[in-house]
Copies of this chain bind each other. A is one copy, B any other.
Amino acid sequence: MRMRKRTGWMVLMSLLCMATAAFAEEAAPVDAATFMANNIWMMVATFLVFVMHLGFATLEAGLTRAKNTVNILFKNTMIPAIGVLTFALLGFNLMYPGEAFAGRWFGFSGFGISLPEGGVTSAYNAGYTYWTDFLFQAMFAATAATIVSGAVAERIKLHSFLLFSVIYVALAYPIVGMWHWGGGWLAARNFHDFAGSTMVHSVGGWAALAGVLLLGPRIGKYVNGKPKPIMGHSMPLAVIGVFLLWLGWFGFNGGSVLSGDPGPVSYVLVTTTLAAAAGIMGAMGTSWIIQKKPDLSMVLNGCLAGLVGITAGADVVGIGASIFIGAVAGVLVVLAVLGFDRARMDDPVGALSVHLVNGIWGTLAVGLFSAEHSFMVQLTGVLAAGVFCFVFAFALFLGIKHILGLRVSEEEELKGLDIGEHGMEAYGGFQIFTTQ
């Protein structure tokens, strides 16, 4: 075990706060107070991204049935644990390999996390500490697996899902992420995905697509070939989830400035908020027109769609564009939910419509609304990530299917995964319709 001394730390700190200037992206000296303020901002952003895991847990639980609630909560509790531990073991060093590259498509700088020799900052971010850098990125990593969770809910075997998550978070997410954020080939081509419409949301979305295709729809979703709505069991949980995700996105996008620089950070918060609000409006209008009555779950997904949509360009598009991107995302998500339903692709929480469709939309929108970025390069990034992630996820799910199986038995699915996988119920004492 490595022992650390607090006094040693402090001496080092004082010396190195100064020294970090040399590494700083803007080549401007970062004084000690600014270093501390940067670090505080990034820690706050880390907490907010952490909150997103609770948001996903409650959203997914709310939009599915009471008999599968324990299972969903269990998966969503495991995911941040898996994400943080695998990221410490190898993900961080796959995503930010420093100079340990093999052709800009893959790099790895070794197992485990430890302070760089003689420093408290990483080579990538001189404005705050190595530990803050690790923790912020680790919280990010786990969100990709969470996106998958919702799409495959109510029918996937617990241990198969956990195994998939471990491997996908440990390998697929950081390898693709490195292409853009770790100095890889996409970074070199001026691809722009500010906080991860592609690098996080569609990375999760493509895996969700693979899972949905391999698992097939839930029992009862299609009656005589027609989609039948399966209502979620708690809209308050879903609303709590969406508000927590919106809150978390302030850290997700705001923290992706990778400093506390007041102008850019606060601008990103404004575009993020306006896109979320516009997504709500877009989805409400579309739902009210198509479904005759405004559907709450559509509006909630509209909010998330706006947030996913603005994530790629929050820093480079204008105020008007941020509202437009969000509104279009709100329209798209309603059409996509209805479309996937008709296409017999059963996604209980609308994860494909939110994260995949709008991850793509948001990334391409950067090419439309920022004069400095090329639509074709944006499209290249979308496709490259898509091919890699879908193939990786499909192959991984397929392998797991052959070894462990993917889907629970029909009996267990009807009875609920809570009893089947965990031997307990989510709502002891409440009378719940057994047919639901």
Which residues in A have some Cβ–Cβ distance to B below 8 Å? 1-6, 9-10, 12-14, 17, 26, 28, 31-41, 43-44, 46-48, 50-51, 53-54, 57-58, 61, 65-67, 69-70, 73-74, 76-78, 80-82, 84-85, 88, 112-114, 120, 128-132, 134-135, 138, 158, 231-237, 239-240, 242-244, 246-247, 250, 254, 260-267, 269-270, 273-274, 276-278, 280-281, 284, 291-297, 299-300, 303, 315-321, 323-324, 369-372, 421-433, 436
Contacts and interface: CB of A to CB of B under 8 A. Distances in A.
Contacts of A429: 65-67, 231, 233, 432-433, 436
A2 B421 CA distance: 53
Nearest to A288: B159
Nearest to A194: B6
A61 B370 CA distance: 42
Nearest to A279: B81
Contact of A2 (B82, B129, B320, B433): B320
B73 A231 contact: no
B296 A70 contact: yes
A327 B174 CA distance: 25
A19 to B, nearest CB: 13
11 contacts: A3-B317, A6-B264, A10-B261, A32-B34, A43-B266, A73-B236, A81-B278, A84-B277, A135-B273, A232-B428, A295-B422
A36 B10 CA distance: 19
Contact of A266 (B135, B231, B278, B427): B135
Nearest to A114: B319
A14 B67 CA distance: 56
Copies in the complex: 3
The 5 tightest CB contacts between A and B, nearest first, are A231-B428, A429-B436, A33-B33, A2-B318, A131-B266
B37 A294 contact: no
Contact of A54 (B1, B47, B243): B243
A33 B41 CA distance: 12
Given A3-B318, A4-B316, 16 more contacts: A2-B320, A40-B260, A43-B254, A44-B44, A51-B243, A54-B240, A54-B244, A66-B430, A67-B429, A77-B242, A81-B281, A113-B270, A131-B270, A134-B270, A293-B421, A429-B432
Contact of A371 (B3, B17, B243, B250): B3
